[in-house]
Amino acid sequence: EQNLHQVKENIAAACRRSGRNPDEVRIVAVTKYVDLETTRRALDAGLTHIGESRAQEAVPKWEQLGDRGIWHFIGHLQSNKAKAVAGRFTYVHSLDRFSLAKELNRRSEAAGRPTRCFVQVNVSGEASKHGLDPVEVKEFVEQAAEFPYLQLEGLMTMAPFTEDPEEARPVFRRLKELQRELQQSGASGTALPHLSMGMSRDYQVAVEEGATFVRLGSVLVGEAYPKQR
């Protein structure tokens, strides 16, 4: 609860600095590091969005707690795990290829529930990161928009892991620009109202640059994060 209070204050301050409304920013509590009890306590503390990144660990937690809260699959998703995720997770933040879109659509239809998706973009261009090259995103979004059981919510990115959160700013700014470019193109699927960006280290910068979902693990449910102010 203390961590959540501090995070909310920091988000409010970032919103004041950038002229945004804090109600636009949703916190996804990333519980991948912690056990079922701690996940339950996050829900008890009033967090409603829960993020997990590995299907094997997430599904058993969802079996216990899935009726409380809104579940987000934030990690890289193998197509053979789409079946486990569809119908359970309201959101997938890591849609990054056509074969996954096709399979997730098929499994969501079978589960009788569409999946809300973020298209993951590799803005920083690091070889170690998943996600589409920014130049590929428009065509991909147009293709993904054809799948009736995928609802395209927005774009997601992960910034490079650096000491100084300011180094993440150009990455977040570029994702926001890409969102605008797509929206202005008017192509199908490009309404894309949301931006999933910002983690424990850099969420305050991400909020300043327009994040509407921040994905927070360590600062919320992990050990108190050393950089937390």
Ligand X SMILES: *Cc1c(COP(=O)(O)O)cnc(C)c1O
In the complex, which residues of this chain contact ligand X (CB under 6 A)?
A: 30, 32, 53, 74-75, 158, 199-201, 215-218, 222
CB of 212 to ligand X, least distance (A): 15
Report the residue number whose CB is nearest to ligand X: 217
Half-sphere exposure of 85 (CA within 13 A, CB side): 32
> Looking at beta carbons only, is 88 or 190 nearer to ligand X?
88
Q: How far apart are CA 24 and CA 15, in angstroms?
A: 9
CB of 220 to ligand X, least distance (A): 8
CB 34 within 8 A of CB 222: yes
> Looking at beta carbons only, is 105 or 120 nearer to ligand X?
120
Half-sphere exposure of 164 (CA within 13 A, CB side): 4
- Using the structure block, give the residue that is written with the tokens 């909310």: 8
> Looking at beta carbons only, is 134 or 217 nearer to ligand X?
217
Q: Where are the alpha helices (DSSP H) in 114-168?
A: 137-144
Q: How far apart are CA 217 and CA 88, in angstroms?
A: 20
> Looking at beta carbons only, is 129 or 190 nearer to ligand X?
129
CB of 216 to ligand X, least distance (A): 5
> Looking at beta carbons only, is 74 or 152 nearer to ligand X?
74
Side chain identity at 15, as an amino acid letter?
Answer: C
Alpha-carbon torsion (69, 70, 76, 77), positive or negative: positive
CB of 186 to ligand X, least distance (A): 30
Q: How far apart are CA 198 and CA 214, in angstroms?
A: 5
CB of 34 to ligand X, least distance (A): 10
